[in-house]
Amino acid sequence: MTRQMTGAEMVVQALIDQGVEHLFGYPGGSVLPIYDELFQQDKVQHILVRQEGGAGHSAEGYARSTGKVGVVLVTSGPGATNMVTPLADALMDSIPMVCITGQVATHLIGSDAFQEADTVGITRPCTKHNWLVKDVNDLARILHEAFYVARSGRPGPVVVDIPKDVQFATGTYQGPALVEHKTYRPRVEGDQAAILAAVEMIAKAKKPLFYTGGGVINSGPEASALLRELAHLTGFPVTSTLMGLGAFPATDKQWLGMLGMHGTYEANNAMHDCDVMINVGARFDDRITGRLDAFSPGSKKIHIDIDPSSINKNVRVDIGIVGDVAHVLKAMLAAWKSAGHKPDKAGLKSWWSEIDGWRARNSLGFRQNSETILPQYAIRTLYERTLGKDVYISTEVGQHQMWAAQYFGFDEPNRWMTSGGLGTMGYGLPAAIGAQAAHRDALCIDIAGDASILMNIQELSTAIQHELPVKVFILNNQYMGMVRQWQQLLHGNRLSHSYTDSLPDFVKLAEAYGAIGMRCEKASELEGAIDAMIAAPGPVLFDCRVANLANCFPMIPSGKAHNEMLLAADATDEVIANAIDAAGKALV
């Protein structure tokens, strides 16, 4: 299918041909021709945000909750530079995103024109790929390539920068079927010999462990189903990174909880002591491994990853399998069955009894015994009151994020949206808006902190305008809690600028935006208040006042190994002050 049309028409046509239903954006001088085309059609719904960064995070939430590519449209200059954070965020967390930016007319490029920025130059290190389109006849091909690159292989964000004169110019449009990328062909099938070797290794394991990550989610729902099948067939324990929560059900008895810096005692000790580690779509991030030279010293390691550069990057592995998680797991299951393997029952029994010993430490235990709401209790109550509902959870970044990961159970993939790699405060509200745009009838909750929520609070206005009834559940302790926790651990309890002196009245703030404001200060009233929040028809800002000085445990202090965790019960002031040595302090 080829047709003559203007560049601006091509953009909209390409979005339609790519099956895009929702677009997050903000108009400006250099994208007005595209906005004019959007105005004259009704197939693609545009969601107007309040700041371009909000569009980016909304697209991330949309992508994460649907498995589809998130799409953003912003103007040149500041529009594009405001997108830098979401692009970097999406690159770190492998979120497929196509960001279309307007650019000044080609003859003005390089002249320091009004709202000109070197968008491809600025976004080159924070995108998977980017393009500046100088000829309208390249535009359709590049747009389709952009979608292909964003969603293929290890997904990621791409930018297509379109000068204004190219939007006005007329050229030939071609549909996606006619576009084939010249160079980019990521491998999805794993190497069969490596898969067979991995299955042999797994079959002999006495203390095995599945360590799963965001790659399972990115691979699609089938990957989660295959992971469950393989885990149940083998009877092995499963832990996951922050990004992988939901791939394996939190209610399953083989689930050990999240691992890493704020992971459970049982997950981290199992990582340390296992004899065969099966990394499925995770990347040995420093928040997971802790001290590298003491990381799981006795284990053979298998690593499944679609990105060859992830294998042997931080940790040397024994068997690396480059491929898509679903494809590789399918092949592994077939190999396991055809070889007639049976797990080592006796070995597993003693391994599970070791794990049960760690579980008995109850590392996520807390005691809610006064009217002051503990943040852990708040999250657990939120989880219990939303059980059985169609729930999507996003978070900001900080203590509340870790508590959400620890105390909210996820049984399905694509239900959990958080900024893992980049750790972007202000991610959660726009991400919840993105998820809500894709799932109008679902319950979309942003679990927030009082500091993070103020970084993109303006997006509440977006939620109102587009009737997206997101709920913002703020764990308000008046501190940047995680910063304070680190200052207590590292800097002699000198709380330098981590206390927020003049927070807004969140109830009034909500009302000023036209949303519903709620506040809860007593543990005995929390359940009822949460029920009221869920029942509220529109967006809610819920100010949950929690114990100001609560800290996030268990924790692997930086510079320590997995089996040197600090548990809440042991964390006296003295222990906290001495938890991290001089070498660890430099590691952040």
Partner 1 sequence: MQPGSVYAIKEGKDKTEQHTLSVLVDNEPGVLARVIGLFSGRGYNIESLTVSETEHEKHRSRITVVTAGPPQVIEQIKAQLERMVPVHRVIDLTVTGKAIERELLLIKVRGAGDDRVEALRLADAFRARVIDATTESFVFELTGRTDKLDQFILLMQPIGLVEVSRTGVAAITRGPEAT
- Catalytic pick among 1, 41, 43, 114: 114
- SS3 readout for 476-535: ECCECHHHHHHHHHHCCCCCCCCECCCCCCHHHHHHHHCCEEEEECCHHHHHHHHHHHHH
* Binding to partner 1, residues 127-156 (CB under 8 A): 128-130, 132, 149, 153-154
Structure tokens at 69: 């590519």
Q: Compute the least distance from the CB of residue 293 to partner 1, in Å.
A: 5
92 binds partner 1 (CB under 8 A): no
Q: Supply φ then ψ for residue 525, to 5 degrees.
A: -100, 0
**Residues 363, 407: contact at Cβ < 8 Å?**
no
Q: Compute the least distance from the CB of residue 505 to partner 1, in Å.
A: 39
Nearer to partner 1, 457 or 555 (CB): 555
Structure tokens at 162: 């379109």
Question: Which of 124, 337, 491, 508 is in the footprint of partner 1 by CB under 8 A?
Answer: 124
164 binds partner 1 (CB under 8 A): no
Sort residue 241 into left (φ over 0), alpha (ψ -120 to 50) or beta: beta
- Interface characters, 244-283, with partner 1 (x: CB under 8 A): ----------------------------------------
Question: Which of 84, 120, 243, 516 is in the footprint of partner 1 by CB under 8 A?
Answer: 120
Helix axes 375-386, 523-535, angle to 10 degrees: 40
Nearer to partner 1, 42 or 293 (CB): 293
* Binding to partner 1, residues 167-196 (CB under 8 A): 181-184, 186
Sign of the dihedral through C-alpha 204, 209, 214, 216:
positive
Q: Compute the least distance from the CB of residue 362 to partner 1, in Å.
A: 28
Q: Compute the least distance from the CB of residue 534 to partner 1, in Å.
A: 41
Residue 313 catalytic? Answer: no
- Catalytic pick among 21, 115, 368, 521: 115
Smallest CA-to-CA distance from 326 within 216, 430, 181, 453 is with: 216
Q: Compute the least distance from the CB of residue 113 to partner 1, in Å.
A: 19
* Binding to partner 1, residues 66-85 (CB under 8 A): none
- Catalytic pick among 60, 83, 164, 295: 164
Question: Which of 192, 251, 309, 350 is in the footprint of partner 1 by CB under 8 A?
Answer: 309
Q: Supply φ then ψ for residue 482, to 5 degrees.
A: -70, -35
Residue 52 catalytic? Answer: yes
Nearer to partner 1, 23 or 98 (CB): 98
Cβ-based neighbours of 110, under 8 Å, separated by 6 or more: none
Nearer to partner 1, 128 or 471 (CB): 128
Nearer to partner 1, 126 or 379 (CB): 126
Q: Compute the least distance from the CB of residue 147 to partner 1, in Å.
A: 13
Q: Supply φ then ψ for residue 24, to 5 degrees.
A: -110, 130
Structure tokens at 478: 């008046």
Q: Compute the least distance from the CB of residue 186 to partner 1, in Å.
A: 8
Nearer to partner 1, 321 or 374 (CB): 321
**Residues 253, 228: contact at Cβ < 8 Å?**
no
Nearer to partner 1, 192 or 312 (CB): 312
107 binds partner 1 (CB under 8 A): no
Sign of the dihedral through C-alpha 290, 293, 294, 296:
positive
- Catalytic pick among 97, 271, 425, 482: 482
Cα Rg for the chain, rounded, in angstroms?
24
Nearer to partner 1, 120 or 227 (CB): 120
Question: Which of 1, 2, 16, 121 is in the footprint of partner 1 by CB under 8 A?
Answer: 121
Q: Compute the least distance from the CB of residue 313 to partner 1, in Å.
A: 6
Q: Compute the least distance from the CB of residue 292 to partner 1, in Å.
A: 5
Contact segment (CB under 8 A) with partner 1 among 82-90, 118-126, 172-180, 405-413 equals 118-126
3-state class percentages of the chain: helix first, strand second, coil last, to nearest 5? 45, 20, 40
Secondary structure of residue 158 in the 3-state scheme: strand
**Residues 487, 507: contact at Cβ < 8 Å?**
no
Angle at 145 between CA 438 and CA 7, to 5 degrees: 85
Question: Which of 227, 311, 510, 568 is in the footprint of partner 1 by CB under 8 A?
Answer: 311
Number of residues forming the site for partner 1 (CB under 8 A): 33
Q: Compute the least distance from the CB of residue 322 to partner 1, in Å.
A: 10
Q: Report the run of H or E that residue 98 belongs to, with start and end.
A: strand 97-103
* Binding to partner 1, residues 289-308 (CB under 8 A): 289-293, 307-308
Omega within 30 of 0 (cis) for the link into 554: yes
312 binds partner 1 (CB under 8 A): yes
Nearer to partner 1, 181 or 491 (CB): 181
Cβ-based neighbours of 362, under 8 Å, separated by 6 or more: none
Nearer to partner 1, 291 or 471 (CB): 291
Query: In the block, which residue shows the tokens 């204004």?
Result: 164
**Residues 177, 204: contact at Cβ < 8 Å?**
no
33 binds partner 1 (CB under 8 A): no
- DSSP codes, 288-326: HH-SGGGSSTT-EEEEEES-GGGTTSSS--SEEEES-HH
Count CB atoms within 10 A of the CB of residue 492: 9
214 binds partner 1 (CB under 8 A): no
Question: Which of 286, 354, 521, 564 is in the footprint of partner 1 by CB under 8 A?
Answer: 286
Q: How far is CA 289 from CA 8, 105, 221, 303, 371, in A?
A: 47, 48, 27, 14, 38
Residue 366 catalytic? Answer: no
**Residues 61, 430: contact at Cβ < 8 Å?**
yes
Contact segment (CB under 8 A) with partner 1 among 74-82, 126-134, 327-335, 448-456 equals 126-134
DSSP 255: E
- Catalytic pick among 9, 52, 116, 145: 52
Residue 115 catalytic? Answer: yes
Residue 206 catalytic? Answer: no
Q: Compute the least distance from the CB of residue 184 to partner 1, in Å.
A: 5
Which residues are the active-site residues?
52, 114-115, 164, 482
- Positions touching partner 1 (CB under 8 A) are 120-121, 124-125, 128-130, 132, 149, 153-154, 181-184, 186, 286, 289-293, 307-309, 311-314, 316, 586-588
